[in-house]
Amino acid sequence: MAASANSFLVGNNTQVPTLKPKSTSQSLLHLNKPTTVNLAGKSKPVAVKCVAATTHVQDGARSGSVGSQERVFNFAAGPATLPENVLLKAQADLYNWRGSGMSVMEMSHRGKEFLSIIQKAESDLRNLLEIPSEYSVLFLQGGATTQFAALPLNLCKSEDTVDFVVTGSWGDKAVKEAKKYCKTNVIWSGKSEKYTKVPCFDELEQSMHAKYLHICANETIHGVEFKDYPVPKNPNGFLVADMSSNFCSKPVDVSKFGVIYGGAQKNVGPSGVTIVIIRKDLIGNARDITPVMLDYKIHDENSSLYNTPPCFGIYMCGLVFEDLLEQGGLKEVEKKNQRKADLLYNAIEESKGFFKCPVEKSVRSLMNVPFTLEKSELEAEFIKEATKEKMVQLKGHRSVGGMRASIYNAMPLAGVEKLVAFMKDFQAKHA
């Protein structure tokens, strides 16, 4: 007896009707749980077993599509929106990953199944960023904030000096943490100008003996992004960059850096994964006081598997890397991001002061767009009305106020177009 398209079989060949998903973004897993089936007019409980669980992804349901009706446009700074096709793929494989009989969340991190996942994730990331062979890729935990301590503990001694260019809150936090482990020298800070610009590199008074120069490549809160990168004056020094909020948003010449690090939860995955790309000759110099979980050598020698890693998060990052490659790589991704950012910044400029972005135009972020209203008393209403239109998380960071639209890789053009249309309507009503 063959089951129909809208039913499945229980042990006695009785057809049980299944529920149709409301949309292609939903699937139904029929787990082993009691249900009631009418057999010859009698109600009898039976155990329902999963025969198959398949999710069909809509044609074109990829990063950049409009998405299903149930989903909102999520402008959160992180954790942030993920590509819809990546979520659907993960959903389809959640219960039984590629016929392994288990979920990724249940796998041993030392088993062949997960080894294939983490190895492919690293390979795809290397392809995306064209990472040279003399660099190691580490999948760690603790967020970029943990790296604020790990960096000086691994890269310098307590008497060494580290230079910092501070263009926002995250750069400032990096300095404060590093002070516990080395001498810090803030060679430029934008704090007095409320973090709205990036300095001219020629004017930076770097320490000639600085072990390294640290920057935050994109400040999530203030919306300031480096479009080029400074070069350390110390010939033996190197550049270190926190790229949490613009990681894999555009091509980057990795060879210009000693270390690139960032949390995954903005552009390439869920929260819980921290990625460190480090030149191999910088590994192996951790101080004796360095906790084992912060020692780059330990993680490098164990291929990021010294202890149980964030397995599902790494798997999700791998799916995102696949998606970015399928889009044509980071050059194509950057074009899409530039188009979205131009659309939003142009709307702000064309509002004749009703909306304002405080950041200097030449260094405005492609990822995080902060803006305010001329009439600040309308900001709460703006956020409330936007939420009604299924555009969420537009409230600015608590430290700066206003609004902020984070338009990472996975934010489709349709989301930015809808926001811009809403902004114009809101201005028409309240100007």
pLDDT in tens, 290-303: 999 999 999 999 99
The number of folded domains in the chain is 2
pLDDT at 26 over 80: no
420, 430, 414, 427: which is closest to 72 by C-alpha? 414
Residue 97 lies in a domain: yes
Last residue of a domain, one of 327, 349, 377: 327
Average pLDDT, the chain: 88
Same domain for 101 and 230: yes
Last residue of a domain, one of 308, 327, 346: 327
What pLDDT, on a 0 to 100 scale, did the predictor assign at position 10? Answer: 39
In the structure, what pLDDT confidence band is assigned to residue 47 with cuts at 50, 70 and 90?
very low
Same domain for 195 and 120: yes
Q: Give me the sign of the Cα torsion angle 357, 362, 363, 365.
A: positive
Same domain for 392 and 255: no
Domain that holds residue 282: 85-327
Lowest mean pLDDT among 35-39, 88-92, 400-404: 35-39
Q: Give me the active site residues, please.
A: 170, 242, 266
DSSP line for 361-410: GGGB-SSEEEEEESSGGGHHHHHHHHHHTTEE--BPPTTT-SEEEE--TT
Give the CATH number for residue 390. 3.90.1150.10
pLDDT in tens, 325-360: 999 999 999 999 999 999 999 999 999 999 999 999
Residue 103 lies in a domain: yes
What pLDDT, on a 0 to 100 scale, did the predictor assign at position 374? Answer: 95
214, 216, 300, 317: which is closest to 258 by C-alpha? 214
Same domain for 315 and 229: yes
pLDDT at 153 over 50: yes
In the structure, what pLDDT confidence band is assigned to residue 69 with cuts at 50, 70 and 90?
low
Taking the C-alpha atoms of residue 126 and residue 50, their distance in angstroms, rounded to an integer, is 38
The first and second tokens of residue 414, run together, are: 């349709």
Residue 62 lies in a domain: no
Counted residue by residue, the chain has a size of 431
pLDDT cut 90: percent of the chain above it: 82
Same domain for 354 and 284: no
pLDDT at 27 over 80: no
Same domain for 181 and 300: yes
What pLDDT, on a 0 to 100 scale, did the predictor assign at position 68? Answer: 55
Residue 4 lies in a domain: no
Task: Considering only residues 54 and 355, tell me which one the structure prediction assigns the higher pLDDT.
Answer: 355
Same domain for 351 and 318: no
Give the CATH number for residue 285. 3.40.640.10
Last residue of a domain, one of 309, 327, 345: 327
Same domain for 404 and 264: no
Same domain for 342 and 364: yes
Q: Are the C-beta atoms of residues 416 and 340 closer than 8 Å to each other?
A: yes
Tell me the mean pLDDT in the region 247-268: 98
What pLDDT, on a 0 to 100 scale, did the predictor assign at position 431? Answer: 86
pLDDT in tens, 157-181: 999 999 999 999 999 999 999 999 9
DSSP summary character for residue 175? H
pLDDT cut 70: percent of the chain above it: 84
pLDDT at 66 over 50: no
